[in-house]
Amino acid sequence: MNSAPLLPPGTSVAVIGAGRLGTVLARALEEAGLDVTGPIRRGESIPDADVALLAVPDAAIPGAADVARPHARLIGHASGATGLDDVDFSVHPLQTFTGSEPATVFHGIGAAIDGRDIDALDMAEQLARALGALPFRVHGRQRRAYHASASIASNLLLAVLDAAEQVAGSAGIHPDEARELLAPLVRQTVENWVDRGAAEALTGPIARGDEETVARQRAAIADDDPDLIPLFDELCDSTRALAARTENPA
């Protein structure tokens, strides 16, 4: 998209919400040269500002926007799934946060933006660029699918990695050691996916059509971690479909 003008130094931003994202956002925007107040916790007073940026749970956005409206020219939120019913714009950093990251965590990542009008959209883009992120627009009707994609790539992936850690434990490998040993495999798999896409990156027994090995894996999980069998079966079915795409490309 076209680059909006950079925000002038001293632009005032009130970051509302002192959770993981709000904490990092406030730190990064301040280091970018903006006049930042926050992160502001629930019940604390909100100063007058050019922008109020809400980093609160989705359900709290309407109430927080109402409280902030008298104090800011524009109000935005940092939610990936919520529309613009209560705010003027949105900026959703496409990253996972613990709250302890340095300001540079935003550098080079994507940031989904949207705005009610050109002024609000420009503000969303300028804030994203001030963070060092790469803005791309996601329209309201597309937000649910966009956020679902992000959740699959991050939140749901952790459920798969946790299952791998549990099964490694059944093989006598301590959880800390399992994560250390499996991490290079996970990283390389992700790099292969980035470079080539999932179908071409796929390796292992299902890709080779070695169902006997898959059956032995399933039996081991059934013996020691039976609660993981439904997940294992679903993942194997999805992987077979992925392998079939490689064999029979559209």
Instruction: List the chain residues with pLDDT less than 50.
Output: 250
Q: pTM (2 decimals)?
A: 0.86
Q: For tokens 């399992």, what's the residue?
A: 178
pLDDT in tens, 209-227: 999 999 999 999 999 999 9
- Per the listing, tokens 């709290």 go with 60
Residue 37, pLDDT score: 97
Range(s) of the domain holding residue 106: 12-140
User: Do residues 26 and 84 share a domain?
Assistant: yes
Q: Where does the chain have alpha helices with state H? A: 20-31, 61-68, 118-131, 143-153, 155-170, 175-196, 198-201, 205-208, 211-224, 229-247
Q: What is the CATH number of the domain that holds 133?
A: 3.40.50.720
27 and 133 belong to one structural domain: yes
The vertex-67 CA angle with 33 and 38, nearest 5°, equals 30
120 plus 30 within the same structural domain: yes
Contact 52, 86 (CB under 8 A): no
Residue 207 resides in a domain: yes
- Same domain flag for 136 and 28: yes
